[in-house]
Amino acid sequence: MSLVIRDLAEAARTPHESPRWLVEELIPERGLSVLAAAPKAGKTLLSMALAMAVGAGSPHRFLGRKISRSRVLLVEMEGSESSLIDRATRISIERAEPFGSGEVYVSHRPRGFSLPQSFAELNSAADEIDAGLIVLVH
């Protein structure tokens, strides 16, 4: 890897492709976004709401922004599977629509999973279900 340094004005003049957004101007398709906060601040709830909103797609919105529908792989690294399902059920009730089959796929505490060693496996799993969004809850 070599670090390339360019003048910002020059870089701005260079044609580039605009990103495709899962959540308008917030979450890019196949990009990397990180949600960090103190423990018990609501990261898991927000991440799950994002996953379910993207899984359902239009006409739903997330934080007031347009959504592009995509399959989602949600990997839960902590908590229990029953609490994951309970949260998903509460979110679907709040959006007044049951979550449907083929929207969000989950993996709970995958055995032997550790970052960054498991990125290839994670990408392979996402490709297998054609997921546009991967959410790791840790």
Q: Where are the domains of the chain?
A: 8-137
State percent of the chain over pLDDT 70. Answer: 88
In total, the chain counts a number of residues equal to 138
Q: Answer yes or no: are the C-beta atoms of 4 and 16 closer than 8 Å.
A: no
- Give per-residue pLDDT as tens, 50-62: 988 898 886 778 8
Predicted confidence band at 99 (pLDDT cuts at 50, 70, 90)?
Answer: low
Q: Tell me the CATH number for domain 8-137.
A: 3.40.50.300
Whether the model clears a pTM of 0.85, i.e. scores above it, the answer is no
Distance CA 52, CA 99 (A): 7
Predicted confidence band at 95 (pLDDT cuts at 50, 70, 90)?
Answer: low
Q: Answer yes or no: are the C-beta atoms of 22 and 54 closer than 8 Å.
A: yes
Strand intervals (E) in the chain:
21-23, 27-28, 61-62, 65-66, 71-76, 104-108, 131-137
